Amino acid sequence: MDSNQSFHTLQKQLFQSMRFNILETQISRQEKDRLHSAYVYAWKVGVFPAQQDYYEFHRPYDKEFIVNADMIDELTRVLDSEWSQLATDHSSKVSTFYNLEARLSWSREQLIFGCRYLCQSGLFGEDFWQKVVAPGEHPIEAACITGSLTTTDFR
């Protein structure tokens, strides 16, 4: 095993250790001492938690997340552009989940996780997200995007 492989293996192990610690902290602490739920959700499902940058635990592990920093930034830019346009022109259309799926070359799982993370982070508002997951415009598994997070989401 060369030094690059050794480093990558160690990085993966450190990432999994940090992931376990963050999830365990969320489950075992009192509510007032918990981390932001969207941040913990991001660690659970593998989304780079760019919206909670005041925590630093994720920064060294960008490439270990299945939705890395570049990907979540891309999704945020796409949705922010549509949200901004909707704010100025209420008749403008918002991409549905299926539109986003066709536009981005992500797996369905990555897109669901990325959208749910951004929604749970409080971005764009409930009305916007309801348009993304409009009836008939998303697969059944994407219905969770707007659902509230509970402690069972972290187990």
**Is the pLDDT at 154 greater than 80, yes or no?**
no
Burial class (CB in 10 A: 0-12, 13-18, 19+), 7: exposed
Percent over 70 (pLDDT), the chain: 94
The pLDDT assigned to 2 comes to: 74
The two structure tokens encoding residue 106: 């992500």
The pLDDT assigned to 29 comes to: 63
Report the alpha-carbon distance of residue 40 to residue 73 in Å, rounded: 18
Look at 8-17, 69-78, 88-97 and tell me which has the smallest mean pLDDT. Answer: 8-17
pTM of the model: 0.86
The two structure tokens encoding residue 84: 């901004």
Q: Where are the domains of the chain?
A: 3-154
Q: Are 71 and 113 in contact (CB under 8 A)?
A: no
The pLDDT assigned to 57 comes to: 73
The pLDDT assigned to 36 comes to: 82
Torsion of CA 147, 49, 136, 143, to 10 degrees: -30
The pLDDT assigned to 118 comes to: 98
How does residue 32 score in pLDDT terms, banded at 50, 70 and 90? Answer: low
